[in-house]
Amino acid sequence: MQITVNVNGTDHTEEIEPRLLLVHFLRDTIGLTGTHWGCDTSNCGTCVVWMDEEPVKSCTVLAAMAAGHRVRTVEDLERDGVLDPVQEGFMQCHGLQCGFCTPGMLMTARALLDRNPDPDEGEIREAISGQICRCTGYSTIVRSVQWAAEHDQPAELAAGGAQ
């Protein structure tokens, strides 16, 4: 079947198998390997992307279900060489070690801060509760998101001004 999915602002029209998962569409069909695939059980959360502004586990969504929708991946966080505050926060506060869980953590953190610019620790831990990190013990991830909240600015300012 042929589908068109808008990924990070660009339409991608591709022939796919109907059973293809969105995570494999992103990684293997259009070559955006920033989104990781870490399990077969929908537990790890490293595959989180946005579909129409909502974080979703891309291993639980068929690529065909994303047809006609907007998908945002970790590759879209950095703009013109400027890191998103969540990326900067993970760097400043050592929010990663191996980095495997990081793409999903970043997309979840960005979604959280867009909805709640000043989350408390419990809200951050709840937001990332669907994701597994085998390295950090989560404390530095929480600190990274707090750092991002302290240094965040409205998306329209970060993008250079509201239209």
Task: Decide: is 157 part of the binding site for ligand FES (CB under 6 A).
Answer: no
Q: How far is the CB of 46 from ligand FES (least distance, A)?
A: 6
Q: How many CB atoms lie within 10 A of CB 18?
A: 9
CA distance 7 to 50: 10
Task: Decide: is 38 part of the binding site for ligand FES (CB under 6 A).
Answer: yes
- Which range in 5-13, 35-43, 79-87, 144-152 contacts ligand FES by CB under 6 A? 35-43
Handedness of CA 110, 115, 117, 118 (dihedral sign): negative
State which of residues 3, 96, 112, 145 lies at the interface with ligand FES (CB under 6 A). Answer: 96
Q: How many CB atoms lie within 10 A of CB 153?
A: 9
Task: Decide: is 34 part of the binding site for ligand FES (CB under 6 A).
Answer: no
Q: How many CB atoms lie within 10 A of CB 41?
A: 7
State which of residues 28, 68, 99, 117 lies at the interface with ligand FES (CB under 6 A). Answer: 99
